[in-house]
Amino acid sequence: MRDLADRLLTYEAGAGKASEPMEFATLRVYGKLRQSLGEFVGVAGFQSLASRALALAKPEAPSLSETQVSGDGALHGLGEIETQIDMNKDVAGEGGIILIARLLGLLRLFLGEALTLNLLRNAWPGEVIDNHNSAHGRST
Amino acid sequence: MSTEDKVKINKLPTGVPGLDEIVGGGLPEFSFNIIAGAPGSGKTTLAHQFVFANATPERPALYFTVLGESAIKMLRYQQQYTFFDPAKLPDSIRFINLSQVVLERDLGAVLKEITDEVEKANPAVVVVDSFRTMVRKPQSDMELQSFIQRLALFLASWQATTFLIGEYAEDELRDNPIFTVADGLFWLRQTPERNSIVRKLQIIKLRGQDSVPGLHTFRITDAGVQAFSRTFGLSGHLKDPPSHRRLCFGIPELDKMLGGGVREGDSVLVAGSSGTGKSVLATQFIAEGIRQGEPGIVAVFEERPQAYAERATTLGLDLETPQKVGKLKILYLRPLDLSVDETMHSILDAVQKIGAKRLVIDSLAGFEMALSPGFRADFRESLYRMIFALTGIGVTILSTVEVDESFTEFPFSTYSISFLTDDIIRLRYVSIDGQLRKIMVVIKMRGGNHAKDIREYEITDKGVVILGKRLTNYQGLISGIPVRSDRPDSKEEPSLDTGIEHKI
């Protein structure tokens, strides 16, 4: 799921301004997931998934140590810490990729790959989801 | 109003094998339906099957989930069923969670949320799962009734076929306004009967078309819900006109006793105690049919098909080849929680697959044992429905039944099912000259001549072989302890009865 998370972040980074920090792209991916999954699983359902994904991601990404998921499923504190740790854009985006990959990984775990990808197609163009050169299902 | 003037109600496939027949051909389009039942009764699975059978990208299905099973878990489990097509999500089937609005706001806001989504998506199918939790907050009866009324009106006006799913108890049927508004009411039950669980489905109400009344058994397998109609899917089938053809056993003397064989479409009962050759006679009946080009089905309950075929080989009858070429099917129906309807489904399926003309049920006692305890209580009624349905499509049925040998009585069956059969052949032991020998008599042939003779027979490596002519030098043969008389054995051909039905 890391490849897929990477593609989604790259796509959203391309959709924003070149100068903006990488965490903006992370927040946009997260926001789209929150919207499309929230409709499907409800606010509480998404909040549960997101907080679990964050708990799984934190040990791998110190930059997420202060990040929190609020009761309505919103993500707080992502940009601030990343910026403090490292200004290098590639490194700064790492925490976001891990968080999104973990969230997608949970979806795949519960729903299976086919259904997860179908749900994502609702929020992103098919070519971003179906990158046949990438290894689908690679573990994060 | 002429037929042409009447509005034609389209019938939608339910996606549940067997259910279309029960609801009268399909679910009425734009109907407002309730699926009620206790937790675990299969409500959600049934709704999913309907959704997957009818949703398209142009006319999708909206599946509103409320409090209860989360959509993630629901889809995790539902996708295990074979009907679940992940490609249909999310374009053809959209899941929308209404928990927040239900928890935080009133029914008016819930209705607004539903109407907004419906107006946006133009769905063909709408499901609310569970509707019960949606209206659980305290509110006045009038408020609830108004909500249901407006929801039903709106969804019908927007040309959506709707399912509301709810955990209702049967005593709520009278007072809950939802049941008044609904066009269709499907009630699913699962009840423990001794060590078995029996699932039953009832269409309590279905406006606009005839559904099959009564309780229909259903099963949940990896293909989802499968329903078994009480009429076995044959309710629209006209009974075939009576045939005058006779089906032989391939045992010349017995065929003569039967006036040329049993009538096509008859139900024949072969009754006798253990070891009298009931199964042998049944095997010869099926083998002769295959020889005559009539495919057959043998439903066995007491031995495996392989053992059944091997036993036939010892009688010089080849049942292996006809199985390979699709002229014979030996069904082994042994699970202990079968319903008659499921058994019938298996048999009918096999009958239709190979065009079977003859069916052997060996034996009724084994059949009864294979049924769930609750169905055993209705065994006679179930047999009646099954025999009526099968003979109605021209299948000739031979059933074997074991009867307790008595030397004071001459019972035909322990099930008192003689009235279900057209023809009865009774086999029994008699004590003659210090030997336990066997005799056979045709007790009854509905609407046909048959011999009144009592004949002695043996079971040899050629099967049942009738010996000599009728036994006239004994009296009291059917008591099992005959007394020798001075009359010599008959050398006459079997005399045929007039065919007047005897009261048994």
Q: Where does the pLDDT of residue B404 fall: very low under 50, low under 70, confident under 90, or very high at 90 and above?
A: confident
The verdict on ipTM greater than 0.95 is no
Q: Answer whether B86 sits within 8 Å of A112, measured CB to CB.
A: yes
**pLDDT digits over B83-120, tens only?**
999 999 888 999 998 888 888 888 888 899 999 999 99
Dihedral sign of CA atoms B338, B339, B342, B343 in order: positive
Q: Is B435 exposed, middle or buried (0-12, 13-18, 19+ CB in 10 A)?
A: exposed
**pLDDT digits over B370-396, tens only?**
777 777 777 787 788 888 888 888 899
Interface A-B, measured as beta-carbon pairs within 8 A, has a size of 58
In the predicted model, what is the mean pLDDT of chain B? 85
CA B302 vs. chain centroid, Å, equals 20
**pLDDT digits over B228-252, tens only?**
887 766 555 555 566 678 999 999 9
| B72 vs A38, A41, A43: nearest CB | A41
CA distance B119 to chain A (A): 16
Tokens of B187: 């009630």
CA distance B220 to chain A (A): 21
Q: Which residues of A touch B102 (CB under 8 A)?
A: none
CA atoms of A120 and A135, how far apart (whole Å): 17
Q: Which of residues 76-115 of B touch A (CB under 8 A)?
A: 76, 79, 86-87, 89-90, 94-100
Task: Reply yes or no on whether the pLDDT at B503 is more than 50.
Answer: no
Q: Could you tell me the pTM of the whole model? A: 0.72
Q: Could you count the other beta carbons within 10 Å of the beta carbon of residue B174?
A: 8
Residue of A nearest to B87 (CA): A118
**pLDDT digits over B294-327, tens only?**
999 999 988 889 999 999 999 999 999 999 999 9
**pLDDT digits over A37-72, tens only?**
988 888 888 998 999 999 999 999 988 988 999 989
Q: Answer whether B97 sits within 8 Å of A45, measured CB to CB.
A: yes
Residue of B97, B100, B130, B134 best to disrupt the A interface, most CBs of A under 10 A: B97
Candidates B154, B77, B102, B144; CA nearest to B123 is B154
**pLDDT digits over A25-35, tens only?**
899 999 999 99
**pLDDT digits over A62-118, tens only?**
889 889 999 899 999 886 554 554 445 445 578 899 999 999 999 999 889 988 998
The count of residues in chain A is 140
pLDDT at res. A135:
39
Amino acid at B345: H
Any CB–CB contact under 8 A between A121 and chain B?
A: yes
CA atoms of B127 and B116, how far apart (whole Å): 15
Residue A2 is classified by DSSP as H
More confident residue, B494 or B50: B50
Contact present, B301 and B333 (Cβ < 8 Å)? yes
pLDDT at res. B409:
63
Q: Could you count the other beta carbons within 10 Å of the beta carbon of residue B433?
A: 7
Range B54-59 contact pairs with CB under 8 angstroms and sequence separation of 24 or more: B54/B12, B54/B13, B54/B15, B54/B124, B54/B125, B54/B161, B55/B88, B55/B92, B55/B93, B55/B123, B55/B124, B55/B125, B56/B92, B56/B124, B57/B91, B57/B92, B59/B122, B59/B123, B59/B124, B59/B125
Specify which residues B62 forms β-bridges with.
B94, B126
| A119 vs B65, B89, B97: nearest CB | B89
Tokens of B364: 């009724």
Highest mean pLDDT among B149-163, B382-396, B465-479: B149-163
CA atoms of B211 and A110, how far apart (whole Å): 39
**pLDDT digits over B55-81, tens only?**
999 999 999 998 777 788 889 999 999
Residue B344 CB contacts under 8 Å (≥ 6 apart), including other chains: B228, B232, B385, B386, B389, B390
Residue matched to tokens 């549940």: B16
Core vs surface per residue B40-64: b (16+ CB within 10 A) or e: ebbbbbbbbbbbbbbbeeebbbbbb
What does the radius of gyration of chain A's CA atoms come to, in whole angstroms? 14
In the predicted model, what is the mean pLDDT of chain A? 81
Amino acid at A101: A
| B95 vs A40, A44, A110: nearest CB | A40
**pLDDT digits over B137-148, tens only?**
667 777 888 888
Q: Which residues of B touch A112 (CB under 8 A)?
A: 76, 79, 86
Residue matched to tokens 């928890």: B103
